[in-house]
Chains A and B, each alone.
Chain A
């Protein structure tokens, strides 16, 4: 990140006494006349004229009082032009930051906050949160609000506490009792400068309602009641039972439920609650019988409609309230009990035949009544007669067929018992079943109709003979009966045959379709998308290969890796396009050294940087995109709170140009933050830094050209599993025996300067497959980077790691490295380049604390192992 120190002005003050606040100067002024111009917000954009420049001297003055809350900062664009108005220099930017003063008090979002909390809540229960803002600079003491409860009403004892930082109001104890105080009012003050004496304050009110819980047990107004009821009587309001409850009126915590504990086994009584008065009304819903029950004891209990609060649940015990009930005897009527009686009458019963007896019962004595007389009430067909004294029922006359037919075999009449003394009447129902066994059906004859047009319509007559030897004919029993002719019968038979044939045909039909048998329903296999066959027609599904199992001496190793979609490298002409001269030389030498007779097009589809188009390729290729997205998200989050909230531009580069010896598919990340468009600093960067910077700054990066066929492409290095980068951290780069002539060059840059923040945790990239991620986020100032941090899993302050693997010829590299000719040897040279704030170049690579300086130097370390080292290279700084 490249930043510029900004000039600062204080808001609300006359800063003119500090003029000039800045000066600009061009060296071109030495030999020609230079005119300085400034532009931007506050100059030629509203608010106009806050800054002016002396066009000859380049002195910039501030002319007005500024308000940070209106314009937190200004960017002054400075130009130097010659007499012809041509720019002599590239435009410079000067950020002028407006320093905040505490000129804004806190403002509560509401004048009165409303909250509520249940009584009996535990201590420290959150009640509400107050919200206030301060327009002064965020994250500044001027906008830091401290909350404080000034007063409480009722003020018996403080019941609430407030978090001075968050404004959260919580209960102080668990003694809140709605039955004592149903509401509290608080006065709260918010003061900026964290409540300091020099802060500005505002005040608000909080109204806290105490919510009811069912923490009071109801009870009846009286502990016992005594009532008297008459037998055989119903009562709709026999007794009122008032219930007392201290909980909130009309709530379920207050409304009582009265229930019977005992005594109401006959279900004579019921209690109905009046929920507005909390009074239970005792009713008699089933008459009591004095002769059966003369006294009884009801026992009732009471609870609430709502469950009891857990704080009193254990204290609740059912308390019985006794109701003594006395049943009074009344003189009762004579009644038919049961109220109806059924008799059987047959055709053989003669006149005055005694059908049965139906007498009324005296309820007081339980025996037949002696005070009533009986008369027939409803008497269909005048069939029966009753003896007025004894209640004996007789046949008035022999039942005829006509009577039987008229009554349809059933007789239903009534008799009355009349008590002339009491002038009361009781009615009993008499039912008589007229059994038809004596009425014999003599003959049933079917007579065909003579209508030839409707041969199937016939009329059936029955001939009935009764015991009078009368023959009754012509009684139509069935009319328009359906008749089937031979043709109809034939059709019916055909129909049944067809119906029987259908299931047989269904069994024989092969609906599933024989294999290869053409059309038919094709069963959809489970766990599939129906007819989608991804790989069936296009060949086998690509298999992700375990790179660790790839034989290193296999000439097709690259094809294997490419198939798996891991980013492998070629190290021919591609990187040389962006390399400096030295690197280019190095690259060519590498090419010569590690070349293999493999086609140059093998790796092209994975070359270049991981931009949008290549992201798609990654998906297709098999790079773990979930990891990529997670990585970027966390990376962005790590920068989100960066100082001054500047946007960050992240770039992820897939190091397919790394070359032999690197873990397959290394990934680098680089972030440039800021608006500095002066990219001359790129000149000092290595090619990989430069490429990263170009990508980050949105510049188009030329794709790597195809390899020159005349340049025999080399094979990439051995494919290492990611964990094999670990030996590199200890100075032991993994090498393949078959690529013994290898040079490993690593670059590491460490951030320096103020304002770095704590690193965000980044998941171990090595757990995601063949991808090595080099972290790039800034680190906290307490972290002292060590050049030994090459373990990518732990390197939290490495920006970019470059590794070039290959033989190098020539004696001088960068003028610093003495490189032996490795083309035919097996020596390995590890070069680390460390950008660190140090003016010297310690050979021991002990880097001073980068926080202390803003200078950046590049340190290169050359580690030359002994010759003949293969594979297990041990390097020591």
Chain B
């Protein structure tokens, strides 16, 4: 698996949170 994670800037407590990029079917 080859995955990308991006930082979540919107965390309330200031901690760094990472989201794995997912494909989403709309």
Residues of A within 8 A of B (CB): 1-8, 18, 20-27, 78, 80, 88-90, 92, 94, 676, 678, 681, 751-756, 778, 854, 856
Instruction: List 7 extra interface pairs beyond A4-B23, A25-B3, CB under 8 A.
Output: A5-B19, A21-B7, A24-B3, A24-B5, A676-B23, A751-B26, A752-B26
A23 to B20, CA, bound (A): 9
Complex contact B4–A22 (CB within 8 A):
yes
Note all chain A residues with C-beta closer than 8 A to B7.
Answer: 7, 18, 20-22
A22 to chain B: closest residue by CB: B6
Note all chain B residues with C-beta closer than 8 A to A778.
Answer: 26
Note all chain B residues with C-beta closer than 8 A to A89.
Answer: 2
Note all chain B residues with C-beta closer than 8 A to A25.
Answer: 2-3, 5
Report if A94-B25 is in contact (Cβ < 8 Å); known contacts: A7-B6, A21-B6, A23-B4. no
B1-26 contacts to A, CB under 8 A, are 1-7, 9, 18-19, 21-26
A854 contacts which of B5, B18, B25 (Cβ < 8 Å)?
A: B25
B7 to chain A: closest residue by CB: A21
Note all chain A residues with C-beta closer than 8 A to B3.
Answer: 24-26, 92
A515 to B17, CA, bound (A): 94
A828 to B5, CA, bound (A): 49
A18 to B11, CA, bound (A): 13
B26 to chain A: closest residue by CB: A753
Report if A27-B2 is in contact (Cβ < 8 Å); known contacts: A8-B9, A18-B9, A20-B7. yes
A24 to B18, CA, bound (A): 11
7 inter-chain pairs at a CB distance below 8 angstroms, sorted by A residue, are: A3-B23, A20-B7, A22-B6, A88-B2, A94-B4, A681-B23, A752-B26
Complex contact B6–A5 (CB within 8 A):
yes
Complex contact B6–A94 (CB within 8 A):
yes
Note all chain A residues with C-beta closer than 8 A to B5.
Answer: 22-25
Query: Which 7 pairs, one residue from A and one from B, show the smallest C-beta to C-beta distance?
Result: A89-B2, A753-B26, A7-B6, A854-B24, A22-B6, A2-B23, A23-B5
A755 to B24, CA, bound (A): 11
Note all chain B residues with C-beta closer than 8 A to A80.
Answer: 2
Complex contact A856–B6 (CB within 8 A):
no
A676 to B23, CA, bound (A): 9
A23 to B9, CA, bound (A): 14
Complex contact A27–B1 (CB within 8 A):
yes
A7 to B9, CA, bound (A): 10
Residue of A5, A21, A754 most packed against chain B (CB within 10 A): A5
Complex contact A92–B4 (CB within 8 A):
yes
Report if A754-B26 is in contact (Cβ < 8 Å); known contacts: A4-B21, A5-B19, A26-B1. yes
A749 to chain B: closest residue by CB: B25
For the complex formed, measure the closest distance between the CB of A388 and the CB atoms of chain B, giving whole angstroms: 124
A6 to B4, CA, bound (A): 10
Complex contact A2–B2 (CB within 8 A):
no
Complex contact B6–A678 (CB within 8 A):
no
A20 to B1, CA, bound (A): 21
For the complex formed, measure the closest distance between the CB of A853 and the CB atoms of chain B, giving whole angstroms: 10
Interface class of chain B by DSSP:
strand
Note all chain B residues with C-beta closer than 8 A to A854.
Answer: 22, 24-25
For the complex formed, measure the closest distance between the CB of A3 and the CB atoms of chain B, giving whole angstroms: 6
A21 to B9, CA, bound (A): 9
Report if A751-B4 is in contact (Cβ < 8 Å); known contacts: A5-B19, A8-B9, A23-B18. no
For the complex formed, measure the closest distance between the CB of B7 and the CB atoms of chain A, giving whole angstroms: 6
B2 to chain A: closest residue by CB: A89
A312 to B1, CA, bound (A): 84
For the complex formed, measure the closest distance between the CB of A640 and the CB atoms of chain B, giving whole angstroms: 16
For the complex formed, measure the closest distance between the CB of A40 and the CB atoms of chain B, giving whole angstroms: 14
Note all chain A residues with C-beta closer than 8 A to B18.
Answer: 23
For the complex formed, measure the closest distance between the CB of A118 and the CB atoms of chain B, giving whole angstroms: 52
A751 contacts which of B1, B23, B25 (Cβ < 8 Å)?
A: B25
A837 to chain B: closest residue by CB: B25
For the complex formed, measure the closest distance between the CB of B2 and the CB atoms of chain A, giving whole angstroms: 3
A755 to B2, CA, bound (A): 26
B18 to chain A: closest residue by CB: A23
Note all chain B residues with C-beta closer than 8 A to A18.
Answer: 7, 9
Note all chain B residues with C-beta closer than 8 A to A5.
Answer: 6, 19, 21-22
A90 to B4, CA, bound (A): 12
Note all chain A residues with C-beta closer than 8 A to B4.
Answer: 4, 22-24, 78, 92, 94
Note all chain B residues with C-beta closer than 8 A to A756.
Answer: 26
A7 to B7, CA, bound (A): 7
For the complex formed, measure the closest distance between the CB of B8 and the CB atoms of chain A, giving whole angstroms: 10
Complex contact B1–A1 (CB within 8 A):
no
Report if A2-B24 is in contact (Cβ < 8 Å); known contacts: A23-B18, A90-B2, A94-B4. yes
For the complex formed, measure the closest distance between the CB of A185 and the CB atoms of chain B, giving whole angstroms: 48
Complex contact A94–B21 (CB within 8 A):
yes
A80 to B26, CA, bound (A): 29
Note all chain A residues with C-beta closer than 8 A to B25.
Answer: 1-2, 681, 751-753, 854, 856
B26 contacts which of A3, A22, A26 (Cβ < 8 Å)?
A: A3
A18 to B6, CA, bound (A): 11
For the complex formed, measure the closest distance between the CB of A725 and the CB atoms of chain B, giving whole angstroms: 26
A4 to B25, CA, bound (A): 10
For the complex formed, measure the closest distance between the CB of B3 and the CB atoms of chain A, giving whole angstroms: 6
Note all chain A residues with C-beta closer than 8 A to B1.
Answer: 26-27
For the complex formed, measure the closest distance between the CB of B9 and the CB atoms of chain A, giving whole angstroms: 7
Note all chain B residues with C-beta closer than 8 A to A78.
Answer: 2, 4
A3 to B26, CA, bound (A): 8
A141 to B6, CA, bound (A): 26
A244 to B13, CA, bound (A): 83
For the complex formed, measure the closest distance between the CB of A859 and the CB atoms of chain B, giving whole angstroms: 15
For the complex formed, measure the closest distance between the CB of A72 and the CB atoms of chain B, giving whole angstroms: 18
Report if A753-B6 is in contact (Cβ < 8 Å); known contacts: A5-B19, A27-B1. no
Residue of B3, B19, B26 most packed against chain A (CB within 10 A): B26
A751 to B25, CA, bound (A): 7
For the complex formed, measure the closest distance between the CB of B19 and the CB atoms of chain A, giving whole angstroms: 7
For the complex formed, measure the closest distance between the CB of A778 and the CB atoms of chain B, giving whole angstroms: 6
Complex contact A755–B6 (CB within 8 A):
no
For the complex formed, measure the closest distance between the CB of A87 and the CB atoms of chain B, giving whole angstroms: 10
B3 to chain A: closest residue by CB: A25
A76 to chain B: closest residue by CB: B4
For the complex formed, measure the closest distance between the CB of A252 and the CB atoms of chain B, giving whole angstroms: 64
For the complex formed, measure the closest distance between the CB of B17 and the CB atoms of chain A, giving whole angstroms: 12
Note all chain A residues with C-beta closer than 8 A to B26.
Answer: 1, 3, 751-756, 778
A676 to B26, CA, bound (A): 13
A851 to chain B: closest residue by CB: B26
Note all chain B residues with C-beta closer than 8 A to A20.
Answer: 7
Complex contact A3–B6 (CB within 8 A):
no
A78 to chain B: closest residue by CB: B4
Note all chain A residues with C-beta closer than 8 A to B2.
Answer: 24-27, 78, 80, 88-90, 92
A678 to B1, CA, bound (A): 12
For the complex formed, measure the closest distance between the CB of A355 and the CB atoms of chain B, giving whole angstroms: 120
Note all chain B residues with C-beta closer than 8 A to A755.
Answer: 26
A376 to B26, CA, bound (A): 120
Residue of A2, A7, A20, A751 most packed against chain B (CB within 10 A): A7
Note all chain A residues with C-beta closer than 8 A to B24.
Answer: 2-3, 753, 854
B23 to chain A: closest residue by CB: A2
A27 to B2, CA, bound (A): 6
